[in-house]
Amino acid sequence: MAAEPAAAVIPEAGFFPGLYTAVHAFWLAGMSCDGCSIAVTGATNPSVEDLLTGRLPGLPRIILHHPVLDVEAGERFVHWYELAALGELGAPYVVIYEGSVPDETVAAETGGYWSGMGVREVDGSPQPIPTAEWLRRLAPGAAAVIAIGTCATWGGIPAAAGNPTGAMSVMDFLGPDYRSALGLPVVNIPGCSPVGDNFTETVAAILLFLQGLGPLPEFDELGRPAWLFRETVHRQCTRGGYYEEGVFADEYGRRECLVKIGCWGPVVQCNITSRGAINHLGGCMNVGGVCIGCTMPGFPDRFSPFYKAPPGSAVSSTQVRFYGAVTRRLRRITNQFMNRETRWDEAGRVPSGWGRVDEPPAVYKLVHAVYDALRLRGADEPGRTRPEEQYAGGYEVPAVVARRRRGRR
């Protein structure tokens, strides 16, 4: 990851789509726990290694400047940030901001700072440079500014009610009129921590646009990659079928829907249930945890207290319990019949050595007779039932003959 200037030079007029051999990525950390960095290093499709080495066809190699992962330190590390801020880098770059942006004017009143990187001379003495200052200086010349994680996208936990830092999101800090050198508002990839693949996939899509090899990806009105955050957790949840049938868990460790014990999945936009946390494995609801809304702008204040059933769940769960109970019982009847070979009905027994399989009660048979009639309405029964389908010599399959006779009776 040693830094070096890219071969392509950007004209003074600004960025334009074209073929670049390398793009710099300047990572900044504000009020952060570094969880976003950890999540990204676990990405697999594409992986960080794919982006850093330029293994993806058509994409430039990324030269990453990261305060934790970079091999350089001190002045040599900060030097590249300075070049970009002064417009002397001679290469395209993106800014990635992790963590919320603190209000440094609050800390400056007492001569302090909230979050910094590098030093500068102030009144003859070295003082830390706030990361908010780096963001302010680097944002205008960046091809894109990407806020990673809920702290950077919406303020997150550092911006929760009662915080002393005045923390805010990158979008709040730069304002609604901000546009990058490519004309992009702030790109937001929320999550606490985010799915690593959501970040690397979005970066790859933006780089394809920068290379002139693809269209600008679709983002929603809040700057989220629309194809990743369009659906709610509930619509993709592995437990969604239980909700539909009105079956809810009343304690942790159960396999049923978790809405009654505090899950906000029906209203939260996130793809964790379908994509998993790392390499399509894990994910909150997939492993028994409830959704606490960590990808949403209202997190955490509007979702507190955690692990308490949302007020709306009382209405939705009550109505779904009513029709879900009926649906569940009808499906059990169908399931029982679909768990039988037609041969077993003809023989009157199930030749299983594992356990006794009871015959369906008469009312179930009646219900399924109606079901079968509706299923076959406007369609042919299985088997060779039409004259032109008969075997040579007039041979008929015994099971088809038996079924026809039963139908006549």
pLDDT in tens, 293-336: 999 999 999 999 999 988 888 888 888 888 888 888 888 888 88
What pTM was estimated for this model as a whole?
A: 0.82
403 or 241, which is more confident: 241
* Mean pLDDT within 263-273: 94
Residues 6+ apart with CB under 8 A from 294: 150, 190, 191, 192, 270, 300
* Mean pLDDT within 35-56: 93
- 223 φ/ψ sector (left φ>0, alpha ψ -120 to 50, else beta): left
In angstroms, the Cα distances linking 180 to 144, 171, 202 are: 5, 12, 16
Secondary structure class of 176 (helix, strand, coil): coil
17 or 56, which is more confident: 56
19 or 283, which is more confident: 283
Every domain of the chain and the residues it spans: 22-228, 233-314, 341-378, 381-409
Q: Note the pLDDT of residue 6.
A: 34
Q: What is the CATH number of domain 22-228?
A: 3.40.50.700
Q: How confident is the model at residue 16 (pLDDT cuts 50, 70, 90)?
A: low
Count of other CB atoms within 10 angstroms of residue 159: 24
Q: Note the pLDDT of residue 122.
A: 77
Residue 83 has pLDDT above 80, yes or no: yes
Q: Note the pLDDT of residue 10.
A: 35
Percent of the chain with pLDDT over 70: 90
* Mean pLDDT within 273-296: 93
Residue 97 has pLDDT above 90, yes or no: yes
Q: Which of 147, 257, 149, 130 is nearest to 195 (CA)?
A: 149
Two tokens at 53? 């080495």
Q: Note the pLDDT of residue 323.
A: 81
Tell the CATH superfamily of the 233-314 domain: Cytochrome-c3 hydrogenase, C-terminal domain (4.10.480.10)
Q: Note the pLDDT of residue 409.
A: 46
Residue 1 has pLDDT above 60, yes or no: no
Residue 216 has pLDDT above 70, yes or no: yes
Give the residue carrying structure tokens 């030749």.
351
Q: How confident is the model at residue 384 (pLDDT cuts 50, 70, 90)?
A: low
* Mean pLDDT within 271-287: 92
Count of other CB atoms within 10 angstroms of residue 84: 23
How far apart CA 263 and CA 267 sit, in angstroms, is: 10
Residue 11 has pLDDT above 80, yes or no: no
Mean pLDDT of the chain: 88
Q: Note the pLDDT of residue 12.
A: 37
* Mean pLDDT within 92-101: 97
* Mean pLDDT within 166-171: 96
